[in-house]
Amino acid sequence: MLKEVLKNDIKYMKRDPMIWMLVGAPILLVIIYQLIVLRFEFMMPYKSVAQYLLVVMIPFFIGVVLGFRMLDEKDEHMLSFYAVSPLGLNGYIKIRIGVALVLGVISIGGMSLFGVIPKTYLFFISVQAILLGPLVFLIIGVVGLNKIQGLTLVKIMGMPIVMPLLKLIKENPLDPVFVVIPSYNIFQLIVMEDFDLMVIVYIGALCIGIYLLAVSFSRRCMSEI
């Protein structure tokens, strides 16, 4: 069953050009970082900001790709098929989470080799970034009913990613709100270079969020069958 799921994913990628755009975007971003941010002196003050955006956006793109694939499978009634197959809906969700984690490990590992991720807090940054992929695609799967809603949801989720950058301007009333943003601690570690035990809280919250979303998605799909 695992081979069939992955085989269908490959066919899906071949016929949807938007997926190739999303897959190619992270590669393009890393190239821009290497050729522009690291090559020009006037860009160096913005190096940590560029690192934060790369570390967060690449897992975000992974989650979007898998989320859109999940919405397509809803439309194709494939989820109903998986639910009554030996794989089961829970097995399908585990495969999707596994794929997101593997792709996250590969992308984050590649970025660390290119020096995108600061070595100081490499482990904690990497763990949180890798968990963002499954979180994003499960949010799209749970909330989105179709690709139109999915695109709207992606735009909404993209806004909180850049919100912590407001802290670089000056103190503002939104500062207390930033702590609920899943990528906020990554911002603190990379841009502010501020490490505390809250990192454990964020990692735990991401894991709990993934679990709760997976359960919610499974129940919602079963109620629709």
Per-residue burial over 56-70, b = 16 or more CB atoms within 10 Å of its CB, e = otherwise: bbbbbbbbbbbbbbb
Residue 27 near residue 100 (C-beta atoms within 8 A): no
Q: What range does the domain containing 91 cover?
A: 2-224
Rounded CA-CA distance 15/25 in Å is 18
Structure tokens that stand for 32 in this block: 């821009």
Q: What angle do CA 151, 157, 162 make, to 5 degrees?
A: 125
In total, how many domains does the chain have? 1
Instruction: Name the amino acid, one letter, at 129.
Output: A
pLDDT string in tens for the chain (225-residue length): 556 666 666 665 666 666 666 667 777 777 888 888 878 787 788 889 989 999 999 899 889 888 888 888 887 777 777 777 777 888 888 888 988 898 889 888 888 888 888 888 999 999 999 999 999 999 998 888 777 888 888 888 988 888 888 888 777 777 778 888 999 999 999 998 888 888 999 999 999 999 999 999 888 777 665
Nearest CA to 127 out of 67, 65, 183 is that of: 183
Residues 6+ apart with CB under 8 A from 182: 128, 132, 135, 160, 202, 205, 206, 209
Structure tokens that stand for 37 in this block: 């941010």
E-only strand ranges, 110-197: none
What pTM does this model have? 0.87
Q: What is the longest distance spanned by two Cα atoms in the chain?
A: 59
Rounded CA-CA distance 155/82 in Å is 29
